[in-house]
Amino acid sequence: MRRGLVLACLLGCAGTADDTVTLAFAPDPGAPGSERYLCFGFDAGLLGGADIAGIALVPATGPVTLHHVALFASTDDFADGPIDCLTMPDTAVPLNVWATGGGDLVLPRDLALAVPPATRRLIVQTHALRIADGPPATRALTLSPRRDAMVRAGWLPLRAPTPAIAPHTRARSSASCLVAAELHVISSWPHMHRIGSEFHGTIARVAATDPLVDVVPYDFETQHSYSIDAIAAPGDTIDTECVWENTTDTTVLPGPEIDQEMCGQSLIAWPVEAAHCS
């Protein structure tokens, strides 16, 4: 059973600003069969000091596919790229992630993703896989700036530890995020890799546990964001649980590659000042 609505237009498709910012990139991981994390840097001044109301990935086909595209904001300099970026700079604040099977992000008119003050560079991180020979296609993120949002939201990444998963075994892992101030959760993006079987996100309260999102079965090829309408109070925990089913003859190790495993969910929540774990 799946609980939660796919985030096609978050809380309704309200209009966004007329001006858009385009960040174009063409990742090339190398020889066929290779995969790399490649990053591209852009001048944050393109936003004109605005926050972000919407993010769309311009589709393209070709010999390089993308497992995910993530957008970060950094107060430090960052090269134009492409450069390898398996590890992001400490100053890189996540803003959004598009993954296989995902859609565009469109926020309602009174809400925007907060771009941190003094941001100098926008960073596009790509997890690129080459499946054939040939030149890589140019792709782009289009950003819709918003300067008049009444509410500023933040991207809250939550992670659980990932074990080494033995052949022909079932494994699970969970972690909790303690909420320090009232937090309004409006979306969840669950994330695992190829042997992910189930995902469960909940809010654990003093007297009850409320579901955020249940994805059963989990499908690596359709990594949706799910619309949420929930409030976590101070002292509540937001819990992340992953279940894996390793049907292969090989131990699957934790790691960032698609044949390794991960466990997490990323929330969009407001106010941005409360979007963190205490």
Whichever domain contains 38, its CATH number is 2.60.120.310
Give residue 6's pLDDT: 38
Quick check: is 252 in a domain?
yes
Quick check: is 4 in a domain?
no
State the sign of the Cα–Cα–Cα–Cα dihedral 13, 17, 20, 23: negative
Residues with Cβ within 8 Å of residue 268, at least 6 apart in sequence:
10, 113, 153, 154, 155, 156, 185, 186, 187, 225
Total structural domains in the chain? 2
**161 vs 134: CA distance, rounded Å:** 38
pLDDT, greater one: 207 or 166? 166
Check whether residue 145 and residue 175 sit in a common domain: no
Check whether residue 82 and residue 55 sit in a common domain: yes
Mean of pLDDT values over 240-245: 98
Q: Which residue, of 134, 149, 164, is where some domain finishes?
A: 149
Helix (H) or strand (E) run with residue 243 in it: strand 237-246
Check whether residue 49 and residue 80 sit in a common domain: yes
Give residue 86's pLDDT: 87
Quick: pLDDT tens for 129-149.
999 999 999 999 999 999 988
State the sign of the Cα–Cα–Cα–Cα dihedral 115, 119, 121, 126: negative
**Amino acid at residue number 152:** R
Check whether residue 23 and residue 127 sit in a common domain: yes
pLDDT of residue 263 exceeding 80, the answer is yes
pLDDT of residue 176 exceeding 90, the answer is yes
Quick check: is 227 in a domain?
yes
Check whether residue 30 and residue 123 sit in a common domain: yes
Quick check: is 20 in a domain?
yes
Quick: pLDDT tens for 96-109.
999 887 888 999 88
Check whether residue 140 and residue 201 sit in a common domain: no
Quick check: is 211 in a domain?
yes
Check whether residue 17 and residue 79 sit in a common domain: yes
CATH of residue 209's domain is 2.60.120.230
Quick check: is 215 in a domain?
yes
Give residue 109's pLDDT: 86
| Residue 69 β-bridge partners | 98, 126
28 lies in which domain range?
10-149
4 C-beta neighbours (distance < 10 Å), count: 20
Quick check: is 5 in a domain?
no
Check whether residue 88 and residue 121 sit in a common domain: yes
Mean of pLDDT values over 183-208: 95
**156 vs 153: CA distance, rounded Å:** 9
**213 vs 268: CA distance, rounded Å:** 13
| pTM of this structure | 0.88
Give residue 204's pLDDT: 96
